[in-house]
Chain A
């Protein structure tokens, strides 16, 4: 059995079709190898795209790493969602934050989908039992927020 993602995902109905559709698409992603500047470049580009495609929905799938803080993935998802809505003006009803579970390293994937497309399914690759929870990440997340403003 593959590892499971978090459970706080909002699901949209899957619309059936016999055609070969692309499904939701990855706009971009950032992880611990990316600088803060690169992360914000991706969020800014995502906001630009969402403004050009007002009927499309945004999904922020956030994964914790093998060494994670309590609730880290959700905090990163919430941070991205808040930045897109409060700073960039995207209606927060269009944005779904998803706790994707765990991967080798933490990562935030920015997905976009047309209105009839199913939300992207998280793809965790590491079991919770193999993750070391180290500390609370609140200060780290908020420090990134402070530097963005």
Chain B
């Protein structure tokens, strides 16, 4: 199968992956509604809502790039209005492109949408993860390194224990699975099925 290979282009001084029109099918309204339910159910838990709100504030302070909002649902709704949510087959569970600040934020998913409570919670966390990536109100997105560092600070300030060592050593860029996993561990402490 011939697959278009879109280059990474420099846009307003940052690395930016443009949405690929040859990949990704828009999710149905029912699917988007389920993802919205997945995220909002997590945020109904005050621990999770408090953690996510503080995370956006911490990222704004750390990076100098203000978050579009400290409410993840605002970011969700902005993505829906902009590039939207799409299903895109590929090697990754989910991918975020651009930022809300750019006006064309998009989130592609490659996982099953299920209403089972635990699956719903995991899918909600995955969408929250991508909403943070694209949730900047300016043109530069938030990297895994920035997210991991901010999540550590927030978890520490909110009294979570057994956090391990704060990420350090600079931003390696790219996929950066290590800091992605670190972020997931911090986020899970606040956002999980109780």
Contacts and interface: CB of A to CB of B under 8 A. Distances in A.
B130 to A, nearest CB: 6
A42 B118 contact: yes
B94 interface: yes
Contacts of A121: 177-178, 181
Contact of A28 (B8, B15, B181, B193): B193
A26 B184 CA distance: 7
A22 B17 contact: no
A103 B118 CA distance: 24
A52 B20 CA distance: 26
B141 interface: yes
B125 A25 contact: yes
Interface of A: 2, 14-29, 41-42, 45-46, 48-49, 52-53, 56, 103-105, 112-118, 120-121, 123-125
A118 B182 CA distance: 13
B155 to A, nearest CB: 12
A105 B117 CA distance: 25
B12 interface: no
Contacts of B114: 48-49, 52
A102 to B, nearest CB: 10
Contact of A27 (B95, B118, B133): B118
Contacts of B165: 2
A124 B192 CA distance: 20
B112 A52 contact: yes
Contacts of A48: 114, 116, 119
A103 B91 CA distance: 31
Given A19-B95, A20-B134, A26 B175 contact: no
Given A45-B119, A114-B93, A125 B126 contact: no
A45 B15 contact: no
Given A23-B93, A49-B118, A16 B175 contact: yes
Across the A-B interface, give the 8 residue pairs with the lowest CB-CB distance, nearest first.
A116-B91, A23-B180, A45-B118, A20-B133, A118-B177, A52-B112, A22-B94, A21-B92
A115 B92 CA distance: 7
A117 B122 contact: no
Contacts of B188: 26, 29
Contacts of B126: 22, 25
B29 interface: no
Contact of B130 (A22, A27, A52, A117): A22
B17 A53 contact: no
B93 A22 contact: yes
